[in-house]
């Protein structure tokens, strides 16, 4: 192989992997085999946009108080936060994606930076003089775009550093970055997905060997990365307590909390803004004040004064039109906060006003409300995947997240099921239970690892039998789990491998109990694009019915109040009815006005009127689905389509009917859908 230019210079030699690292005249990095031939191409991996995982700005403080920041994908250093020096002597002219600082920086002056590739192969570099000069640190790496870095807190003893690339996953260095070992084959089943979102290393790593990595879920190793276990908890930004030797505390995105070193986890998102964390930092006086600070991707700064069990929000702006984008805690406990445009504020947390229970009003109109229940005492609960469950005791005028401790990701489905005074809420793979109308909640920790809830139903005879069913997806594909002790323990009662025709099916869309369940023990479930599942023994065993109904993805499945009809609402506007428990079906869709995509919910009120929620409003039938009329007067109109906003879910209590909307909040009707009004204002949003 001939070099493209004679001005290439040698940066480093990797004798283990037989490769040379060369720098070109324009700072491009060239990696070649020592034989002079081209290196083998890496295995194929799914494409990713750099912006999907690159932080806009990173701000770190060294143990001696020196500040470092990545801004505009360049690395800067400051001793006072006001004047910043651009660093990079010896770094190729490529954007910086990650920085890690030695815990012994005051003595060893060691830093590591990872560079984006952008077609030039990236690079991992080390400085031993505080960032003045840099040299390559890439021996053994099979991908040089290392954009996740973590230095062992016991680096002085063990010289261990971890790094991760999107394509090749996790690497470890046992010699301070001189050479690297690939670890991704130790935790990844699918070699096409090796990515790691976050790395956290135990403060006592030299003794306990604990490292946590966040993928879709959190993986834990207690032997330095040689073997791994999947905790099943959603993966987020991971941080160890500075007092880990005594308290064993780990925080995960601020939404989950472990007190046994990451073995088991509890939700801890009370009061938490439902966005991904950018930074989580412990107070320098954490052992005394138990305070933790968190900044999320939307610039929301919060704190916890109970070691991450609940969160408070900053009430006022730090400065006019100042949106926090990164922060550090200075040695004296002051917050040093920077905005995206480079402005900074230094302030003591004690000088700020924090609120413990944010009251939602107009803000709820910005949420996609995915479910709603109306309770016997008149209170309302709504669910959103990132905000959790909100409760209103004044008819929907104000809302509070109160004590609800779960937050999900934007891809999760938020679900509610209520009956006999008990409420269950599901987000992703977690289920919570409330026995007091949503005032307090209990985490049901026995839900099987890897199970993601997509449907939820509670027995009509719950007070006596304690039965709950959840449909979803798991490692086995579409699955149903069952509890007969109010959610304390769960049993997998169906998975898609049970029938040859359902193998490979991925999701159980809906579950519905027969109204006479106490006597008939009949339960129904819909397998996405797979047909109807029926159980006659209370959900213990299932048989497949309606195998010819594989064209439907259910959005709602209900049984009529008299138990004689089974109704299915499916994606792309379908509504069907069965008079023989699913053996045959009649399509009602053509009798419903307007073109629709969603058929998101079906509901009978106490008088027997049937309602359908769709992406273009609400429809009503007074004859069990034979004929339908529009029932959307007063609902807000989407200016883009000229049609009502989508309605996700319906609930009824007495004479009141409630609609949870994709946007614009909750609307109510007291005349069976003839007119609607906003629960926030008491007024309709549009004319009839």
pLDDT recorded at residue 29:
60
pLDDT value at 48 more than 80: no
Summarised one tens digit per residue, pLDDT across range 576-591 is 999 999 999 999 999 9
Percent of all residues in the chain with a pLDDT value above 90, rounded to a whole number? 75
Indicate whether 569 belongs to any domain: no
> Which of the four pLDDT bands, split at 50, 70 and 90, describes residue 505?
confident
Indicate whether 389 belongs to any domain: no
Other CB atoms within a 10 A radius of the CB of residue 687 amount to 7
Q: How many angstroms separate the CA atoms of 406 and 120, rounded?
A: 42
Contact (Cβ atoms closer than 8 angstroms) between residue 579 and residue 564: yes
For 469-491, what is the mean pLDDT?
94
Indicate whether 292 belongs to any domain: yes
Label residues 233-269 b or e (16+ Cβ within 10 Å = b): bbbbbbbbbeebeebbbbbbbbbbbbeebbeebebbb
Summarised one tens digit per residue, pLDDT across range 590-625 is 999 999 999 999 999 999 999 999 999 999 999 999
Tokens 């009502």 belong to which residue?
Answer: 644
> Which of the four pLDDT bands, split at 50, 70 and 90, describes residue 645?
very high
> Which of the four pLDDT bands, split at 50, 70 and 90, describes residue 461?
very high
Indicate whether 302 belongs to any domain: yes
- Which of 26-30, 43-47, 60-64, 342-346 bottoms out in mean pLDDT, i.e. has the lowest? 43-47
pLDDT recorded at residue 44:
37
pLDDT value at 480 more than 90: yes
Enter the DSSP assignment of 318.
S
Summarised one tens digit per residue, pLDDT across range 176-226 is 999 999 999 999 987 888 999 999 999 999 999 999 999 999 999 999 999
Summarised one tens digit per residue, pLDDT across range 234-280 is 999 999 999 999 999 999 999 999 999 999 999 999 999 878 999 99
pLDDT recorded at residue 302:
95
pLDDT value at 118 more than 90: no
pLDDT value at 3 more than 60: no
Beta bridge partners of 96: 115
> Which of the four pLDDT bands, split at 50, 70 and 90, describes residue 49?
very low
Indicate whether 348 belongs to any domain: yes
By residue range, what is the domain housing residue 315? Answer: 279-356
pLDDT recorded at residue 88:
87
φ, ψ of residue 567 to 5 degrees: the values are -115, 135
Other CB atoms within a 10 A radius of the CB of residue 645 amount to 23
Indicate whether 615 belongs to any domain: no
189: which 2 tokens? 């089943």
CA distances from 142 to 139, 181, 184, 398, 673 (A): 9, 9, 11, 55, 62
Indicate whether 512 belongs to any domain: no
Indicate whether 306 belongs to any domain: yes
pLDDT value at 50 more than 50: no
Structural domain count of the chain: 1
Contact (Cβ atoms closer than 8 angstroms) between residue 186 and residue 225: yes
488: left (phi over 0), alpha (psi -120 to 50) or beta: alpha
Other CB atoms within a 10 A radius of the CB of residue 107 amount to 11
Question: Strands, DSSP E only, in 363-505?
Answer: 371-374, 380-384, 388-392, 399-400, 414-419, 422-427, 430-434, 442-443, 452-458, 468-474, 477-483, 491-495
């Amino acid at each position: 192989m001939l070099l493209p230019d004679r001005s290439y210079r040698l940066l480093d030699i990797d004798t283990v992997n037989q490769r040379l690292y060369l720098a070109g005249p324009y700072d491009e990095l060239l990696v070649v085999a020592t034989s002079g031939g081209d290196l083998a191409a890496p295995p194929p991996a799914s494409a990713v946009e750099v912006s999907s995982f690159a932080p806009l700005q990173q701000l770190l403080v060294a143990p001696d108080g020196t500040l470092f920041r990545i801004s505009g994908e360049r690395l800067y250093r400051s001793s006072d936060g006001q004047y910043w020096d651009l660093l990079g002597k010896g770094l190729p002219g490529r954007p910086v994606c990650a920085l890690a600082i030695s815990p012994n920086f005051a003595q060893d002056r060691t830093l590591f930076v990872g560079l984006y590739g952008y077609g030039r192969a990236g690079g991992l570099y080390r400085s031993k003089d505080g960032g003045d000069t840099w040299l390559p640190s890439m021996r053994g790496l099979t991908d040089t775009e290392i954009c996740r870095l973590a230095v062992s807190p016991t680096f002085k003893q063990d010289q261990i550093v971890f790094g991760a690339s999107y394509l090749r996953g996790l690497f470890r260095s046992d010699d301070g970055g001189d050479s690297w070992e690939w670890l991704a084959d130790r935790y990844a089943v699918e070699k096409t997905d090796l990515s790691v979102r976050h790395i956290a290393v135990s403060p006592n790593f030299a003794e306990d060997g604990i490292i946590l990595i966040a993928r879709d879920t959190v993986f834990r190793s207690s032997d330095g990365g040689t073997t791994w276990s999947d905790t099943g908890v959603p993966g987020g930004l991971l941080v160890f307590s500075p007092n880990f030797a005594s308290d064993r505390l780990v925080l995960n995105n601020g939404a989950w909390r472990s007190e046994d070193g990451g073995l088991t986890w509890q939700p801890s998102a009370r009061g938490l803004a439902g966005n991904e964390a950018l930074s989580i930092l412990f107070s320098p006086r954490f052992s005394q004040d138990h305070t933790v600070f968190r900044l999320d991707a939307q610039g929301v700064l919060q704190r916890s004064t109970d070691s991450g069990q609940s969160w408070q929000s900053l009430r006022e702006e730090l400065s006019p039109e100042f949106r926090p984008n990164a922060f550090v805690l200075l040695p004296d406990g002051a917050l040093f906060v920077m905005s995206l445009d480079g402005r900074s504020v230094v302030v003591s947390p004690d000088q700020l006003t924090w609120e413990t229970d944010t009251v939602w009003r107009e803000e709820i109109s910005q949420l996609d409300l995915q479910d709603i229940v109306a309770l016997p005492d008149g209170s309302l609960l709504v669910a959103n995947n990132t905000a959790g469950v909100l409760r209103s005791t004044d008819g929907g005028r104000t809302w509070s997240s109160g004590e609800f401790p779960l937050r999900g990701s934007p891809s999760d489905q938020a679900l509610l099921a209520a009956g006999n005074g008990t409420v269950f809420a599901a987000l992703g793979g977690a289920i919570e239970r409330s026995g007091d109308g949503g005032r307090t909640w209990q985490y049901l920790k026995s839900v099987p690892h890897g199970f993601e809830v997509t449907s939820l139903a509670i027995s009509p005879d719950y007070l006596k039998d304690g039965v709950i069913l959840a449909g979803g997806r798991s490692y086995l594909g579409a699955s149903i789990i069952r509890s007969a002790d109010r959610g304390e323990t769960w049993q997998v009662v169906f998975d898609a491998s049970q029938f040859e025709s359902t193998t490979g099916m991925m999701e159980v869309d809906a579950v519905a109990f027969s109204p006479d369940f106490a006597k008939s023990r009949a339960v129904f479930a819909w397998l996405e694009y797979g047909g109807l599942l029926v159980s006659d023994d209370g959900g213990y065993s299932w048989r497949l019915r309606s195998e010819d109904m594989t064209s439907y993805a259910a959005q709602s499945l209900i049984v009529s109040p008299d138990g004689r009809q089974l109704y299915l609402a499916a994606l792309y506007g379908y509504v069907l009815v069965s008079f023989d428990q699913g053996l045959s079906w009649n399509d009602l869709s053509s009798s419903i006005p307007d073109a629709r995509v969603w058929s998101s919910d079906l509901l009978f009120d106490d008088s027997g009127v049937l309602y359908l929620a769709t992406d273009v409003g609400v429809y009503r039938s007074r004859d069990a689905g034979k004929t339908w009329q529009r029932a959307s007067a007063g609902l807000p109109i989407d200016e883009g389509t000229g049609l009502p906003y989508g309605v996700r879910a319906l609930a009824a209590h007495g004479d009141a009917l409630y609609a949870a909307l994709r946007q614009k909040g909750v609307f109510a009707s007291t005349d069976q859908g003839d007119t609607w009004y906003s629960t926030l204002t008491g007024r309709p949003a549009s004319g009839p």
